[in-house]
Structure formats: C-alpha cells, structure tokens
Structure 1
C-alpha cells in the first residue's frame, strides 16, 4: 500500500542522515541502516552536549549488537529516554505535540519513517542547545 506521508517521512530521514554525517562520529554512518543500532545517534548526542551525554551515559550504549534487534531496541530506548530527559531537564521543554518514534520498528525493521522521527528529536536537541550555532547552518 502506497502512503505519501510515510514516503515523505522516509525522505526526511534521508535528509537528516546527511545532517547526522556532518558530526563525523566514530561509528559507521553511511546508510539509514547504520543508524538503527543507536550508536551513531548516541555519539551525536554526546557531541551536542558532552556534559549531559557524558562518557558514563555513552558507555551504556552497546556497540557490538550485530543483527540482534533486541539489543538495538535496548540502545534506542536509552537514547529516547536521554533525549526526553535532556529536553525536560536542560532545555526546559516537554515534547507533547510530537509523535514519539517507535523504537521497536527502528530496531527490528529499520523503519525509515520512525528513524526520521528519532532524528528529528536529535535535531531538536541540536537547535535548542547552547552550542546550536555549531550544529545548524
């Protein structure tokens, strides 16, 4: 079944992938699938605010998950919680008017539309953090 809205969200995910690549993180970041384990997203968040997303937080993200979707989902849940906590504690914002990404669909099925939602949340952190001039042109 063809869904224009889903297609647009997938295209948004591709655009956000291009933006994510500008952070030059250690983890591979060439395709949308490279993002599904959460490692790249966690490394990007650490660059956005290294004091909040510190080494202790980053070390909770498993890097060697392979194709194990349960480990991917576990990473993604930690990242989503970190994003929501960051918005509340540091930025003083609640995310009420945005449909949160389904991390199960990202981890198990590499769902590009849901991944796009997750990347939008990371973009929100970048455009609202203290160092925003360095992340958004």
Structure 2
C-alpha cells in the first residue's frame, strides 16, 4: 500500500523543475534508469555531492560513501557532508545566512520514500540551485537553465528568486558593510532580523524541550527489566528491541543537540 501511495508522488517529484534542473549536471542513473533508480541516486547523496564539487571545486574534500546499498547511516553521512558544504558556501563565499530550516538528513536517510522525504530533498535541491547561480561558474550553469523548455525555465527562475531575493529564506550579510543606507532601507531589514531572531529563539526552546524528552526516554530504557530477554530468540527479544530503540533515540538526540549548537551560533 505504501508503494502504491508513493509511486505517483515519485513520478510527480521526478518531473519537477528542480529535478529537471539538477539533471543538467549529468544522468542520475546509468542506462535506462527508472524514476526509482534516479530518486535513489538523489537521496544517496553521491551525485549531489559531485554537483556541489562542480559548483565549488575548492571545497574541502571529504569521504563520501559511493556504495550506499540502502544503508540509512551511509546515506545520512553523505547528506550531512553535503549540507555542511552548502551552509559553508553560503556563509563564507556568498556572505549569506541560510535562514530557512536546513534539509533534515535524518528524514531523507531513514524515510526517503515518503512525502516528507521528497519535501526535504526539494529543500536540498533549492539550496544547491542558489549556490549554482551565484558561484564563479554561474554563467555556464545559467546557460544550461536557458536550454530547458519554457515552463521549466520559468519555474526554475521562480525557485532562484526564493533563495536570492527572499530574506526569510536566505539573509544577505553584505548589507552590514554598506555605510550610506537610508532609514527607509534599514527599517525593513531590522524588522526582518527581529522576526528571524524570534523564530530562532522559538526553535531553540523547542529543540531544548526535545532534548529533555529524548534524554528522559533514553534514561528510562536503562531501567527496563532484562530477565526475560534470554528466554527469547535474539531477533525478537526485548533486549534487541531496547538496543534498537536506544540507537534510534541516540541518533535523534545527537541531531537535536546539533540543531541547538547551530541555533546558538546563529544567535
């Protein structure tokens, strides 16, 4: 049933403007790959890391696992490298701060074949597009966009506006170096900053609560009885399930802590 629900969603996503755009960097799957093959190539992160390397050849080389084989941990590793590279490029090269929530690599890694998974991949492609059209090779990449059909080209142009002219998504830090701004120009920027600050504080508090809840759940697992575990098979034993639960909670806890650190840095 899950496949029946996801298949039409997958077909729609793989024909979307952002996916069509990223295919201008090369084929997603060898030969006559299906939509599923191409989607897996996206979520595994290998292809997208190669795209980022074309955008920023000077980026620090990090080891990407080229054979993911549907391993969620390897997928998360690859995507985490990509998100860090994207964030670094916006901040250090473009002098821009990504204000929109970063793509959730845990969702893509663990549950890619879902609507939520495709939404996170879309966010990833959107940020990549913003890097591509503002990098040193932007003329080459924009020329590729010009070669797309009219409707796709118009849709990609609208997406570009989302990450180049929308301060709620990406905030331009270069205005701080301008010394002759008028009061009329400064006021909307300050209002934007206040709104962003409020959102960051709300997110920080929300993630702090999540950390507390996850910590309590994790600690509670240590007090569960272990006596009956030896009487059952290893695969279905409560001990095995507790181990899996602890691992799952540890991943979520680590992710939440990372988000808290990121929010504190942005504040």
Instruction: Tell whether 2:136 aligns with 1:133.
Output: no
* Among candidates 50, 53, 68, match of residue 57 of structure 2: 50
| Structure 2 residues without counterparts, runs of 5 or longer | 1-8, 147-267
Where do 1:14-53 residues align within 5 Å? 14-24=16-26, 28=29, 31-52=38-59
Q: 5+ residue gaps in structure 1?
A: 1-6
- Choose between structure 1 and 2 for higher RCO, CA contacts under 8 A separated by at least 6 residues: 1
How many Å apart are 1:135 and its aligned residue? 1.0
Cα distance between partner residues in 1 of 2:75 and 2:24: 23
2:122 aligned residue (107, 116, 124)? 116
**Post-superposition shift, 1:16?**
1.3
Cα distance between partner residues in 2 of 1:114 and 1:13:
16
For the pair shown, the structure with the greater C-alpha radius of gyration is 2
Change (3 A) 1:41 1:13: farther
How far, CA to CA, are the matches of 1:21 and 1:12 in structure 2?
Answer: 10
Whether the 8 Å contact between 2:86 and 2:131 is mirrored in structure 1 is yes
Quote the offset at 1:130 in angstroms: 1.5
Q: Distance in 2 between matches of 1:131 and 1:61?
A: 23
The TM-score, its normalising length taken from structure 2, stands at 0.43
Is residue 59–residue 85 contact of structure 2 (8 Å, CA) maintained in 1?
A: no
CA spacing shift, 1:12–1:94, aligned 2, 3 Å? farther
Q: CA deviation at 1:28?
A: 2.7
Is 1:64 the counterpart of 2:54? The answer is no
Q: In the alignment, which residue of structure 2 is the partner of 1:3?
A: none
Contact 2:94-2:134 within 8 A present in 1 as well: yes
User: Cα offset for 1:21?
Assistant: 0.9
Contact 1:73 1:104 in 2 (8 A): yes
Shift of 1:14: 3.0
